[in-house]
């Protein structure tokens, strides 16, 4: 699923319930999925599936239990792939802006 398709599938939800998950693999197309943060069945499926599933479920639960308006997490999967978790995205352009700014700050931190 593309980012646009994933976002469209959760756009009807309250902003704090919107969860977008992208998997980036070196040399492959990015795959996005989306779900409702209140979907216990999905979170239960993620927990225990593997280390990254546990981390995603924990991050979603911490977000829904906290006061943050939105959040982005980048998670290392392997040397050639990583996941991006976007929580509480108000609109598509805010995701692009947040990812762009966050990656710039990370690059500056690790290259100085």
- 30-84 pLDDT, tens digit per residue, is 889 898 988 866 666 655 556 777 888 888 888 888 888 888 888 888 888 888 8
What is the Cα gyration radius of the chain? 14
Q: How far is residue 35's CA from residue 94's CA, in Å, rounded to a whole number? A: 18
Q: How far is residue 84's CA from residue 20's CA, in Å, rounded to a whole number? A: 8
HSE toward the beta carbon, residue 17, CA cutoff 13 A: 11
Q: How many folded domains does the chain comprise?
A: 1
| Higher-scoring residue by pLDDT: 7, 110 | 7
What mean pLDDT do residues 83-88 have?
A: 90
pLDDT at 45: 61
Q: Which residues touch 61 (CB under 8 Å, ≥6 apart)?
A: 43
Give the rounded percent of residues in the chain with a pLDDT score beyond 70. 88
pLDDT at 50: 62
Full residue range of the structural domain in which residue 69 is found: 3-111
**Quick check: 102 pLDDT over 90?**
no
Give the rounded percent of residues in the chain with a pLDDT score beyond 90. 22
Q: How far is residue 3's CA from residue 52's CA, in Å, rounded to a whole number? A: 20
Q: How far is residue 51's CA from residue 109's CA, in Å, rounded to a whole number? A: 26
| Higher-scoring residue by pLDDT: 26, 41 | 26
């Amino acid at each position: 699923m593309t980012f646009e398709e994933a976002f469209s599938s959760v756009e009807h939800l309250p902003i704090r319930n919107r969860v977008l998950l992208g998997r980036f693999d070196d040399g492959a197309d990015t795959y996005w999925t989306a779900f409702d943060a209140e979907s216990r069945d999905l979170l239960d499926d993620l927990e225990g599936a593997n280390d990254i599933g546990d981390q995603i479920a924990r991050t979603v639960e911490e977000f829904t239990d906290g006061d943050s308006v939105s959040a982005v997490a980048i998670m290392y999967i392997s040397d050639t792939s990583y996941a991006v978790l976007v929580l509480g995205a108000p609109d598509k352009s805010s995701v692009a802006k947040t990812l762009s700014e966050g990656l710039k700050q990370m690059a500056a931190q690790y290259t100085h």
